[in-house]
Structure 1
Amino acid sequence: MSGTNAWTRSRERMRLFPELFAQCAGEAATYGKCVAATTTGRQELRKDMCAKEFEALKTCFTNAVSDKGVK
């Protein structure tokens, strides 16, 4: 049986990931800095501590995927 299956579609999306990630490098760096700053020492990352930064990263990825026409 040939054709497009879930594995093929997933592989195509994963192949685009580095390019999509590069479009959101600033947002990813900001989120990473927030996580690093809030988990210094023995502190644990708590839910919603970096929610604003995560939402910005999520929005950037969503827009990058939409711009590429990825399904």
Structure 2
Amino acid sequence: MSGSNVWSRSRERIRRFPELFAQCAGEAAAYGKCVSATTTSRQELRKDLCAKEFEALKTCFANAAKKGVK
């Protein structure tokens, strides 16, 4: 496997991120609100507090990536 091929694939994924993010704006907003609500007063975010919202966002990204956003 050549190094340049790995970097080309990585760059392509990074370029697609804004398009994928736009397709998952609702899920991203819900996750962000959950994180914000659970970290008020400088509390640390604890594992699994926003697991449901994160799973929804992760699923949305995976589905958007499978669709082959152009």
TM-score (norm 1): 0.88
Q: Quote the offset at 1:42 in angstroms.
A: 2.6
Q: Which residue of 2 aligns with 1:8?
A: 8
CA RMSD in angstroms, aligned pairs only = 1.6
Quote the residue 2:27 is aligned against: 27
Q: Which runs of 5+ in 2 are unaligned?
A: none
Q: Secondary structure at the match of 1:41?
A: helix
TM-score in terms of structure 2 length? 0.89
Moved over 2 A (4+): none
Q: Deviations over 1:10-59 (max 9, x none)?
A: 11111111001100000000000000000000311100000000000000
Provide structure 1 residue ranges, at least 5 long, that are not aligned to the other structure.
Answer: none
Aligned residues with identical type, % of pairs: 78
Aligned partners of 1:62, 1:12: CA distance in 2, in Å? 15
Partner Cα distance (1:42, 1:7) in 2? 38
Report how many residues are paired: 67
- Kindly report which structure 2 residues correspond to 1:1-71, keeping only aligned pairs within 5 A, or say none: 5-68=5-68
Larger helix share, 1 or 2: 2
SS at match of 2:42: coil
